[in-house]
Amino acid sequence: MHFKQVIMKRYKINIILAGFFIVSIQACKKTVDLFPTDSINERSVFQSVTDLEQGLFAALGAWPGSTNMYVNAIVADEVKISNENRGQGQFEFKWQYVPAQGGSASGSWSSYYYVVGLINKQLAQFDKVVPTNAAENTRKEQVRGELLALRALAHLNLLMSFSGKYNPTALGVPYTSTSDIAARPARQSQREVIEGIENDLNAAYNTPLSNAPVLTGSAGVIRISKSVVAGIRARVSLYKGEWTAAVAHATDCISKSGRSLGTGTAFTSIWTDADVATSSEVLWKTRFNGTGVGTLWQDNNGDVFFEPSDKLKGLFDRTSDIRFKAYFLINPSAGDTCLVNKFFSSARGPKIVDVKLMRIAEMYLIRAEARAENNDLTGAAADYNLLRSSRISSYVDETFADKNDAISKIMNERARELCFEGFRFFDHIRRGLPIARPSSDVQSSAWQNLPATDYRMLFPIPQSSILANPNMVQNPGYN
Amino acid sequence: MRKLVCMFMALLISSTQLMAQNRTIIGKVTDEGGAPIAGASIVAKGYQSGATTKVDGSFSILVPSAVKQLVISSIGFQSQTITIGASGEISVSLKPSISDLSDVVVTGYSRVKKSEYVGAASKIDKKAIELVPVGSFDQILQGRAPGLRVSAGSGQPGAAASVQIRGPKSISGGSTPLYIVDGVPVEASVFQSLNPNDFENVDVLKDASAAALYGSRGASGVIVVTTKRGQKGSTKLSYRPQFGLTQPGTQRFEMMNSTELLAFQELLGAKVNNSLPGWRFSRRNPANASLSAATLQSYDAILDSLRNNNTNWADVFQRQGRFQAHDLSLSGGTDRTRFFLSGSYYDEQGIGERSDLTRYTLRSNIDHSTDKLNVQFSSTVGYSERNFIESENGVALANPFAAAYLAVPYDPLFLPNGRVNVGAGKVGPNAYQRIRDILRYNNQLKATSSLNMNYDFTKNFFVGGNAGFDFRETVSTTNLTPGTFTAVGGGTPAASGQAFPSSTGFFSKGFSRFFQGTMRAFAGYRGVFGKNEEHKITFTANAEQIFQRTSSFSYTGYGINVKLPNTPAAITPGTVDNGLIPAVSGNKSERKYVSFFGVLNYSFSDLYVLDFTVRRDGASVLPEDNRFQNFWAAGFLWNTLNEKFTKNWTNFSTLRVRASYGRSANAENFPFGDFGYFPLYGSGSYAGLQTLVPSTPGNPAGQWEYTDKANLGIEFGLWKERLYGELNIYNELTKNLFISQGIPIENGAAFSSAQVNAGAMRNRGIELTLNYDVIRNREFTWTLSGNFGYNQNEITSLGQENEFPQGTSIIRVGLPLGAHYINKWAGVDAATGAPLYYTKDGKVTSVYSSADQVAEFGTFYAPWTGGFTSAFRYKGFDLSAFFNFQAKFSRFNNQDFFQLNHAFAISGYNLRKEMLTMWDKPGDITNIQSPLFQRQFSSKDIQDASYLRFRNLLIGYTLPASVLKKTKAIRGLRFYVQAQNLHTFTKWSGFDPEDNNNIAQYEYPLPRTYTVGFNLDF
């Protein structure tokens, strides 16, 4: 009997155990089915127009405006290396780009394509969002327009950095309008890229974007309006050398914006972000909050990495041109050393200043240049003088002797007006000009002149893309 | 511990119902000197009846008449098998066991006699852990077990170490072992609130048979901590205080004094114009040529007064710290219930100003056993407070260990008016003011509890379970006083992202919480079969569930009212007008595991043991298709001395051969995140607006990183264990390693890389433990013991890629992980002063190009590690000297890059004395390049970091029992003095060769600690 009890007991135990395991295995499959709480699954990220706007804000925030500003200055002739520079940007300044290690020159490739990626990922899901009323539909289409315009401008800047002067048959960059993690796109011809850019800009222009810049809360003009789309079109035309179109788009931008050139403090307050956002000549900017973009030039310990070049300073009439004091901080006691003042301080803190991505002044300069190229010297002079008279006290209008005189003066005016705004190197590229620095701006003659035909006028495509993409072709000279 | 196990087994055995024809055996158990041994276990061989001895050593046991032999064992003694004579009366004297290593292996799931354990495990006894004046217990494990590589990353009190068992197991993730305390997993690398004096011992499990037991979490090895438990018998009270001091070690480099630095600035100025005082006021400066004699004289006076200031900044930032610790424990119990209660206080001041650890802990361990039930309850609560230096391990002027050497000696600390001499470029005073006016500290509450139960239904069937949790909350506080130089500007914002409002001071708190809960149920069978009971089988089936939850929250408020220091009450509420908007952030995450596993153990005649483990783990961190995975191991043990043919091998007292093979994964260091397989978007912010940003590309094929482990070991004891040792060789292949595979960003996916399972790595090595009693007699013993490990790590595959350069290091197939990758230094051109480098093909060049980087400088993961101890005991005196070493590894000395770099002199920092030999004119033979050339990263800054450290010296005296007997209250009294980190032998010229990464960046060095203390037992 003892024996039997034991057997019974064993059975009971076995049944209990078996039951326990079956129940727990079923329960456990669900137990380990967890979902993230702090992140959103890609499949369900865009469900409302507000979501789309938040996606747009991410793309606007990721816009590498500061990289563009920085690289254009240091690769061209806007700065010289300061004594306190511990290596910051020196490779780019010396045209010794290191594709394997990134750096800001090659780095712009990743920055712009990252924005393109954000845009394409969002556009792929864009039409999942169904607006509930007409107002929502307008907001949605506005977002689409801004995304397309951003995508176009990203590719334009990529072309200028990695493909060079306009030549429709030259090897361009991939025009990326999809988002596919498995794709290994090849470089397309410039013509194809320009086609993509123009298609996007046309589509953006046809969305119900408002004409004039729109303010987003206290951040101001961080979104893209139709005037900005027109401005980007003007840049594309300028790059292509389509002067008539450039005049038309610049004019369109100026008239749609409803803004005019600032004078006096209306102008100087731009550089401390104290300008009146509703009337300022700034049409679009990237907001900096917390991050000191000005630390690219001088860090918060006071160490100066780059200072404005002698060449740039020498372009200004120091006494009557208000831009000189607005753009530079001169320290008379320490030789003529000075600091970049465009990103020096704002109410939000030292070195925390917005990067201006489009100002009305640029449009006058584009139109002046395009009119000069079209031999409309009077029209060119009108734009040129309008800009200068709003910057220079007791200004006397100038006239141009001939087209060359006009172009040379307008290019100098671009150098003055738009320094540290991301144009200088691109101006060399699109006009096929060599970079020439005076000896006082360099420590070695090796860094003084870069011929327009030199391979280093194009940035190397980052090694990471060369390695990861078998279809990618490096620019000549970097292999 | 062994006693406990023996008692446990005895209890199990005695619960068996026995048949008729029994007889009673009585006897007495003593030690070699004739003193009675209480609590010794008496087991009838081949049967399951047992008894324990009483306080006077006597016992009485009822055994079946068929029983011929009794096995007698007791903790600290070798067990003996005695044949029962006709009289039925037995008297046994037990010999002391030589080594505790022959004890029991605690796997966290079970306890296995070393003589039946198939795996490779090392035990670290409490003697090595107790009373060491170090705040984080992982640092104490250094050099204590072969194959265990422990590197302190910081000497800041309470800082955790980096711990690796048998080499790295991951490229993207970590290789930190799994920590188990009393059966429940606890958070790794967070030990500031645990009291190591509560630990009875630590088992380091290294091979497959241990790893497979833990399935997806065991690949990096397991460290199992067993805490102290009460013993049956009279209640014991023990008080163990310790007092001492901490001191900075000696530096192996010299900085310039004021005179030298000013002279150097002049030398530099002649080459590179600068505004440093040594050049600015120099008569050699051409800019001063036209100045009047009076001005020049005033310049001379300025230089003179600067030369007269010689601030020793190292003294300003470093100090001699105080140390004290108090431990009080109470233990005891009855047959059925035993307890261990303890409380401790630990207070260590670091060698850096404003760095310390204060810890309070309480523990209660309770055991209860009946005939069939065995319950263990363990619980500890710890609370600790740590003050921190700033920017630890960072090249930042706020880091006092950087400021101590970068600050110029001619700057005085205080102005004549008594204020701190802060200002732009005033490196020393600014850092000093940060120490005074910024508070950085954390408070941590940690609670770990576990309940283990075992119930024997019959003598064959048992069930049980365990449940436990590990909870930790750390609250980190930073407070910046307004009005200070740091706050007002000039200084960098105290934390990245902090903007202008910080000039009004800020108060910031971060809460981070970790919770891990474990539940396990098991059922098992044990049985003995065969004519001579030669077959022994144990099988357990387990179901386990583990969940981990983490969360954090932090806020920063601005506008600090100076009258309210160090409290959130000082924050000014933010408005649009004052711009003092507080910053708030946080996150939370979770992961879960469910597992089923079975362990089958079969032993034949104590000759062979076979052990099989199969485990199926489901984990929330893997995509659904891969979620449930199998792990397994098989192990084999051969007790060679039980073979007939070894009968005459009389010199051997132990000889065992072990082999194991199996698979596990590295979940605790999973580099893929809790939800890495999902393509995810996160919430971001731009211009104060909420944004949606892609955060992970996802990978629906994500898998574990598997390690297949093979181990072959031999354990041997010679001449009655006078020489004892263990030798293991292993080969571990890790597959499926996550590597970051490049994605061409131009494809519009918004990611430039994704984590894919593509790499493979091998670790193979050899480990040796040796223990030798050079002299062993009643009055004098001298024991030498040591352990040595060699691990060869090699990356065997990187999927589509062959290498990933990562700054100054490279991950390349054929090289070990952690390989340095940089241009090879070729000296200074005597003609031009230009720095020279070798090209990839070995030619000398003055062109510095990343194309010439080579990987010829070894790795920072030391392949050779070990430790050795020499211990003497003479009557009541004892002395032990413990050394540990790591060899054949190299590290980047980034401090050399700063302190042997003219560019940093121009930026206003002090440099090392060697800079005075800087190249000046053609023909100068020197290793310091001309300042006309940029100082680059090169192999010049890579140094051999091999070290041998005199880790601990302990001298003690124990009062003889005969003296103490007279007090009638005191049972034991011992005095000791000890020194920690006494001396380091190394070629390394930075602070400390020991570190947890590849680069020296002004890490907080380990202190030298001297303490005195006593143990008082009632």
Q: Is the pLDDT of residue A9 over 60?
A: no
- B interface test, pick of A54, A119, A157, A331 with most B CB neighbours within 10 Å: A54
- Point out which residues pair with B239 in neighbouring strands: B328, B1016
- Indicate yes or no: CB of A183 within 8 angstroms of CB of B273: no
Looking at the DSSP bridge assignments, the partners of residue B470 are B448, B516
Q: Say how many CA atoms lie within 13 Å of B414 toward its Cβ.
A: 5
Task: Give residue-wise pLDDT tens across range A134-186.
Answer: 999 999 999 999 999 999 999 999 999 999 999 999 999 999 999 988 899 99
Contacts of B744 in chain A (CB under 8 A): 183-185, 464-465, 468-469, 472
Q: Do B679 and A61 touch (CB under 8 A)?
A: no
Q: Where are the beta strands (DSSP E) in B56-120?
A: 58-64, 69-73, 80-83, 89-94, 104-106, 111-113
Residue ranges per structural domain of chain A: 45-87+97-437+447-468
Closest-approach residue (CA) in chain B for A57: B691
Under an 8 A CB cutoff, do B906 and A51 touch?
no
Give the minimum alpha-carbon distance from A128 to chain B in angstroms, rounded to a whole number.
16
Which two three-digit tokens encode residue B691? 């944004």
Nearest CB to A39: which of B463, B680, B850?
A: B680
Alpha-carbon B894 to chain mean position:
24
A180 vs B contacts (CB less than 8 Å): 747-749
Taking the CA of residue A372 and the nearest CA in chain B, the distance in Å comes to 37
Q: How far is B77 from chain A (nearest CA, A)?
A: 39
Distance from CA of A396 to the nearest CA of B (A): 41
Residue of B nearest to A173 (CA): B746
Chain A residue whose CA is closest to B17: A2
Residues A219, B687: C-beta atoms closer than 8 Å: yes
Dump the DSSP string for A387-453. Answer: HHHTTBTT------SSHHHHHHHHHHHHHHHTTTSS-HHHHHHHHTPPEE--GGG-SSGGGTEE-TT
Cβ-contact B654, B769 below 8 angstroms: no
| β partners of residue B338 | B333, B367
E strand residue ranges, B434-495: 438-456, 461-480
CB contact under 8 Å between A45 and B689, yes or no, is: no
Say if CB B1002 and CB B394 are below 8 A apart: yes
Contacts of A238 (CB under 8 A, 6+ apart): A246, A366, A369, A370, A430
Q: Which of B424, B592, B693 sits opposite A31 (nearest CB)?
A: B592
Out of B686, B751, B904, closest to residue A61 by CB? B686
Which residue has 């951040």 as its token pair?
Answer: A219
Under the banding of pLDDT at 50, 70 and 90, the label for residue A7 is low
Residue A371 or A10, more confident:
A371
Neighbours of B328 (CB within 10 A): 15
Please tell me which residue of chain B has the smallest CA distance to A286: B687
As for the ipTM of the complex, it is 0.90
| Domain boundaries, given as residue ranges, for chain B | 2-97, 389-605
B732-783 residue pLDDT tens: 999 999 988 888 999 999 998 888 898 999 999 999 999 999 988 888 999 9
Of A25, A32, A42, the CB nearest to B681: A42
Angle between helices A134-162 and A49-62 (to 10 degrees): 20
Given an 8 Å threshold on Cβ–Cβ distance, is B746 in contact with A178? no
Cβ contact B752–A464 (<8 Å):
yes
User: Nearest chain B Cα to A24, which residue?
Assistant: B543
Per-residue confidence (pLDDT) for residue B939, from 0 to 100: 93
Chain B interface, best mutation among A7, A8, A21, A28, by max B CB count within 10 A: A28
Q: Candidates 1.20.58.480, 1.25.40.390, 3.40.47.10, 1.10.10.10; correct CATH number of A45-87+97-437+447-468?
A: 1.25.40.390
Question: Is the pLDDT reported for residue A13 higher than 80?
Answer: no
State how far the Cα of B273 lies from the Cα of B251, in Å rounded to an integer: 32
DSSP letters spanning B591-609: EEEEEEEEEEEEEETTTEE
Contact B749 A218 (CB under 8 A): no
What are residue B31's DSSP bridge partners? B94
- The mean pLDDT value of chain A amounts to 91
For residue range A374-390, list pLDDT tens digits in order: 999 999 999 999 999 99
Shortest CB distance from A100 goes to which of B425, B461, B850?
A: B850
B696 to A348: CB separation less than 8 angstroms, yes or no: no
Helix, strand, coil shares, percent, chain B, to 5: 15, 50, 35
Which residue do the tokens 């600014």 mark?
B430
Tell me which chain A residues have a C-beta less than 8 angstroms from the C-beta of B620. 32-34
Mutate to test the interface with A, among B395, B692, B755 (most CBs of A within 10 A): B692
Judged by CB atoms closer than 8 Å, whether chains meet at B688 and A291 is answered as no
CB-CB under 8 Å, B746 with A45: no
B579: left (phi over 0), alpha (psi -120 to 50) or beta: left
* Intra-chain end-to-end CA distance of chain A, in Å: 90
Tokens 């590894």 identify what position?
Answer: B889
Q: For residue A468, give the nearest of B588, B743, B904 by CB distance.
A: B743
Residue B401 amino acid letter: F
Distance from CA of B698 to the nearest CA of A (A): 10
Distance from CA of B437 to the nearest CA of A (A): 18
Q: Which long-range contacts (CB under 8 A, 24 or more apart) does B918-922 make?
A: B918/B264, B918/B267, B918/B268, B919/B828, B919/B830, B919/B833, B920/B267, B920/B271, B920/B833, B922/B830, B922/B831, B922/B832, B922/B833
Out of A86, A113, A347, the one facing B745 most closely (by C-beta) is A113
Give the global pTM: 0.80
CB pairs under 8 A between A and B: 253
Nearest chain A CA: its distance from B942 CA (Å): 20
Q: How far apart are the first and last CA of chain B?
A: 21
CB contact under 8 A, B750 and A118: yes
Q: CB B497 to CB A291 under 8 A?
A: yes
Contacts of A176 in chain B (CB under 8 A): 746-748
**Do the chains contact at B745 and A110, CB–CB below 8 Å?**
yes
pLDDT computed for residue B96 by the predictor:
65
CB contact under 8 A, A301 and B541: no
- Residue B16's pLDDT is 39
Distance from CA of A279 to the nearest CA of B (A): 20
Chain centroid to CA A440: how far? 30
Nearest residue of B to residue A116, measured between CA atoms: B748
CB A58 within 8 A of CB A118: yes
Give the residue on A whose Cα is nearest the Cα of B520: A24
**A180–B749 CB contact, under 8 Å:** yes
Looking at domain B2-97, its CATH superfamily turns out to be Carboxypeptidase-like, regulatory domain (2.60.40.1120)
Ranges in chain B, pLDDT < 70: 1-21, 32-33, 46, 48-49, 75-76, 96-102, 489-502
